[in-house]
Structure 1
Amino acid sequence: MTALRLRPEDPADAGPVRRVLAAAFARPDVATPPEVGLVDELRDTDAWVPELAMVAEYGGEVVGYALLTRVRVRPERGGDAPALAFGPVAVAPQRQRMGHGTAVVQAALDAATELGERLIVVLGDPAFYRRFGFGRAGELGLTSPWAGLGEPWQALVLPPSTSEEGPPPRGEVLFPAPWSRV
């Protein structure tokens, strides 16, 4: 029986990741979905955290992907605080509804927790992300260009790595430039 293997992306995965993203986000009106370019561009920024780009491999083939990249939260007063943004998350169409998406998302969340991260934001399906503990980002005092979309604008507070850490940051979430093209 073939098992799903979850691991950080390595440079040789770039092509297979592009193929998974292109298939998962395919639309008849677009030759290449913007999610493909987003990942390619994010790889070349300081937002990229190699340990947080996770692939799901089945039978030696990349079939799923979940990416967490750096964003900043700008409070009304004080300096920016670090946070992460989820996305894109994709599973090859022939492997969807088999638990691969859930597994690769959980692997990324586990890796972020291990790194001591505190806050993750996402614009996505509330029914999917709720199972991981995500809730309305607005209720945590987080805004963004997508905050007006309501429920899909979500956030997750990870457990603090030390008992001395205060509450998660509140304010405007600032995304790296590649996000403005999606």
Structure 2
Amino acid sequence: MLLIRKEQPSDYKQTEDVIQQAFQNVAYSNGKEHELVRALRTSNEFVPELSLVSKQGKTITGHILFTTVEIKNAGNSLIGLSLAPLSVLPEYQNQGIGTALITFGLTTAARLDFSVVVVLGHKEYYPKFGFVKASAYNIKPPFAVEDDLYMVKELQAGVLTTTQGTVHYSPVFML
């Protein structure tokens, strides 16, 4: 049976192993996603309730992390979330664990009153969860990326009609 819960400090080592294994053979990976997560845990943008693990028995099978971002332009700004990274052990992939982590994470984020989430990810995968091209709302990443890969999701209806600008991430992402 799959259990999803908040990550605990005692999980950190096993979670980092999961992240390393999940990205081990991914072409676009720099192999340092586990180091990014370790650094984000100590950043101001870390939201402990949104660092989640999936477990089957005693094994952590997956992890998802949402950290705060600021979407801003000259006139205003909005605090939202970034979904990054999502990791599932290779032997547990394609069993619905990623879907369960995303769904649980988005529900938790909405319950915590966050209104928007951005993600850089697979253009065929994330739209299943309601993500759309961020450019459709004039929301831009702070880096060059293919338009179809940078997406946004409203957690509060209508928030994107009054929000536009560039997404500012934790400085940790730039390390």
Question: Fold match, TM over 0.5?
Answer: yes
SS of residue in 1 equivalent to 2:156: coil
Q: Which residue of 2 aligns with 1:110?
A: 107
SS of residue in 1 equivalent to 2:124: helix
- In the alignment, residue 70 of structure 2 is paired with which amino acid? R
Query: CA offset at residue 166 of structure 1?
Result: 8.1
Q: Which residue of 2 aligns with 1:178?
A: 172
* Matches of 1:166 and 1:149, distance apart in 2: 21
CA displacement 1:64-115 (0-9 Å, x = unmatched): 111100010112213x310100010010001001001100111110100111
* Matches of 1:148 and 1:91, distance apart in 2: 24
Q: 1:25 aligns with which of 23, 29, 32?
A: 23
User: 2:77 aligned with 1:68, yes or no?
Assistant: no
| Distance change (3 Å), C-alpha of 1:168 and 1:132 | farther
CA contact (8 A) 1:146 1:153 kept: no
Aligned length: 173
Q: Which residue of 2 aligns with 1:132?
A: 129
Q: Which residue of 2 aligns with 1:148?
A: 145
Q: 1:35 aligns with which of 33, 36, 42?
A: 33
Q: Output aligned runs, 1:29-108, within 5 Å.
A: 33-78=31-76, 80-108=77-105
CA contact (8 A) 1:123 1:146 kept: no
* Matches of 2:111 and 2:123, distance apart in 1: 24
Unpaired runs of at least 5, structure 1: none
- In the alignment, residue 167 of structure 2 is paired with which amino acid? V
* Matches of 2:174 and 2:160, distance apart in 1: 31
CA contact (8 A) 2:23 2:31 kept: yes
* Matches of 2:14 and 2:160, distance apart in 1: 40
* Matches of 1:120 and 1:166, distance apart in 2: 11
Unpaired runs of at least 5, structure 2: none
* Matches of 1:104 and 1:46, distance apart in 2: 23
CA-based RMSD of the aligned residues comes to 2.0
Runs of 4+ in 1 over 3 A off after TM superposition: 165-168
